[in-house]
Amino acid sequence: MSIKYGLLALLEREPMYGYQLRSEFERSTGATWPLNIGQVYTTLSRLHRDGLVEETGESDEQGKVVYRLTDPGRTDLARWFTTPVTQDDRPRDELAIKVALAVTTPGVDARAVVQAQRTATVRHLQELTRLKAGAAEEDIAWLLVLDSMIFRAESEVRWLDHSETRLARMPRPPVRPAAAAAETTTQEVPR
Amino acid sequence: MSIKYGLLALLEREPMYGYQLRSEFERSTGATWPLNIGQVYTTLSRLHRDGLVEETGESDEQGKVVYRLTDPGRTDLARWFTTPVTQDDRPRDELAIKVALAVTTPGVDARAVVQAQRTATVRHLQELTRLKAGAAEEDIAWLLVLDSMIFRAESEVRWLDHSETRLARMPRPPVRPAAAAAETTTQEVPR
DNA sequence: CGACACATGTAACACGTTACATGATTTG
DNA sequence: CAAATCATGTAACGTGTTACATGTGTCG
């Protein structure tokens, strides 16, 4: 969904062709989320099919297919901007799922998972800080995206620390991978 | 991807059938990310095709198709648990994209977007706090997921506030939707 | 000329959602 | 018995990625 509306927003600024849309999108978000060019074309064709964009007469130079917003497209875009993002819109959080399942999966040391992630996230945070130092002051969009990622990474580190202390005062680290699992449950052991 | 490994992790705990996998997954994550039952079956068939799970002889009751991890499946799962989530793994952040594009889209009041989102996120945060108050102390997985969402929502509010002040000391709120856009740029005006 | 960036598209596949079809078991 | 829940699956579609095919324009 984000791509669909990303393209519509860029077209609201000015009519554009596919290749241009990709570079503008990546410029606006500091190439944080590189946009696959194939997807731009398929998304554009769907937007065209649904009447949200139309081709300006290809009076332009050869090849380039320039698109422009239609009125329904403008309406849809305005709706997107005025409607907040809800929990249902957000994708599953892989990290949260991983840690949540780690605590109940036999043979997995949940605290090791948390610590490894913490190292990776802190490293990422340093990279973000470095990027921010070199960012142009007038590139507001990119600065906002950068800050967004920094805030998120910081909160992730805090959550990981919080999780570690919560795991520290817990019953028992799960038993060893292979041996000693049968004497408690005694389920039917195949082969 | 999270689903694939979610299923593998549950199967590491104990062999299960599809319907059971869905309920266990939702129980572990507090029904935060409801799991579509159709997807469970298609994912299971892919996992089976790729040799990561196998059917235990359907010695079980009629109907129920019970799956069990294979050794390659166990290996793949262990790799998932020991490899941190990187930036590339994460999906695009729709909110960040929305705000970033709002600042450069004519006719869109970026600060209104930020404020509307803030209201929605604070409301969500209250709901999460309410949920946490009623959560069982021993349900560690669900508590971790809840905390994860709380930490994230809090950081989102902080970022929105930060963005608002950044937007407040900015050149000019973009011009009105329709009129008065041509006298500055004088681009070719179609139709 | 040859390499590289620009530009458009298609095919194949993975993943995700919604909706439908089908039947067994449980329970009011 | 009727309705709800349990249980498995498929079809259609949207979205995203990777890879390929094809051609133009530019520059060393």
Q: What residues of chain B, 55 to 74, have a C-beta less than 8 Å from chain A?
A: 56-57, 68
- Residue A181 reports pLDDT greater than 90: no
- pLDDT attached to residue B104: 92
- The pLDDT-based confidence of A188 (bands split at 50, 70, 90) is very low
Asked if residues B24 and B141 have their Cβ atoms less than 8 Å apart, the reply is no
- Residue A21 reports pLDDT greater than 90: yes
- pLDDT attached to residue A58: 62
- pLDDT attached to residue A135: 83
Of A69-78, A149-158, A176-185, B85-94, give the lowest mean pLDDT range.
Answer: A176-185
φ and ψ at A68, to 5 degrees? -140, 150
- pLDDT attached to residue B175: 52
Any chain B CB within 8 A of the CB of A11? Answer: no
- pLDDT attached to residue A184: 39
Provide, as residue numbers in chain B, all residues whose Cβ is less than 8 Å from the Cβ of A13. Answer: 104-106
Sign of CA dihedral B23, B24, B27, B28: negative
Best CA proximity match to A55, nearest among A69, A43, A38: A69
- pLDDT attached to residue B46: 94
- The pLDDT-based confidence of A56 (bands split at 50, 70, 90) is confident
Lateral strand order in the sheet of B53-55: B16-17, B66-69, B53-55
- pLDDT attached to residue B151: 98
Best CA proximity match to B47, nearest among B6, B81, B105, B91: B6
* Low-confidence spans in chain B with pLDDT less than 50: 174, 176-191
Q: Among all protein residues, pick the one whose CA is nearest to the C1' atom of C6.
A: A19
State whether the beta carbon of A91 lies below 7 angstroms from any atom of strand D: no
A180 vs B78, higher pLDDT:
B78
Chain C footprint positions (protein CB, under 7 Å): 6-11, 14-20, 23-25
Any chain B CB within 8 A of the CB of A3? Answer: yes
> Best mutation site among B88, B122, B148, B189 for testing chain A: the one with the most A CBs within 10 Å?
B148
> Best mutation site among B33, B43, B97 for testing chain A: the one with the most A CBs within 10 Å?
B97
Burial of B115 per CB tally in 10 Å (0-12, 13-18, 19+): middle
Provide, as residue numbers in chain A, all residues whose Cβ is less than 8 Å from the Cβ of B120. Answer: 84-86
Domains of chain B, by residue range, sit at 3-88, 91-177
Q: Which of B's residues 14-43 have CB atoms within 7 A of nucleic strand C? A: 35-36, 38-39, 42-43
Kindly state the average pLDDT of the residues A79-102: 95
Distance A49 CA to C16 C1' (A): 22
A187 vs B116, higher pLDDT:
B116
Min Cα separation A145/chain B (Å) = 6
Any chain A CB within 8 A of the CB of B98? Answer: yes
Q: What is the dihedral of CA A126, A128, A130, A133, to 10 degrees?
A: -140
Nearest CA in chain A to B150: A159
Q: How far apart are CA B53 and CA B43, in angstroms?
A: 11
Q: Do A104 and B141 touch (CB under 8 A)?
A: yes
- pLDDT attached to residue A108: 94
Q: Do A94 and B93 touch (CB under 8 A)?
A: no
Residues present in chain A in total: 191
Instruction: Please state, for a pLDDT cut of 70, what percent of chain A lies above it.
Output: 86
- pLDDT attached to residue A171: 64
- pLDDT attached to residue B171: 63
- pLDDT attached to residue A30: 80
CATH of domain A3-88: 1.10.10.10
| B36-86 per-position pLDDT tens digit | 999 999 999 999 999 999 998 766 567 789 999 999 999 999 999 999 999
Instruction: Please state, for a pLDDT cut of 90, what percent of chain A lies above it.
Output: 72
Q: Do B124 and A86 touch (CB under 8 A)?
A: yes
State whether the beta carbon of A63 lies below 7 angstroms from any atom of strand C: yes
Mean pLDDT taken over chain A: 87
State whether the beta carbon of A38 lies below 7 angstroms from any atom of strand D: yes
- pLDDT attached to residue B188: 39
Q: What is the DSSP string of chain A?
A: -HHHHHHHHHHHHS-EEHHHHHHHHHHHTTTSS---HHHHHHHHHHHHHTTSEEE--TTSSSS--EEEE-HHHHHHHHHHHHSPP-GGGSPP-HHHHHHHHHTTSTT--HHHHHHHHHHHHHHHHHHHHHHHHTS-TT-HHHHHHHHHHHHHHHHHHHHHHHHHHHHHTSS-PPPPSSSS-HHHH------
| A107-162 per-position pLDDT tens digit | 999 999 999 999 999 999 999 999 999 888 778 999 999 999 999 999 999 999 99
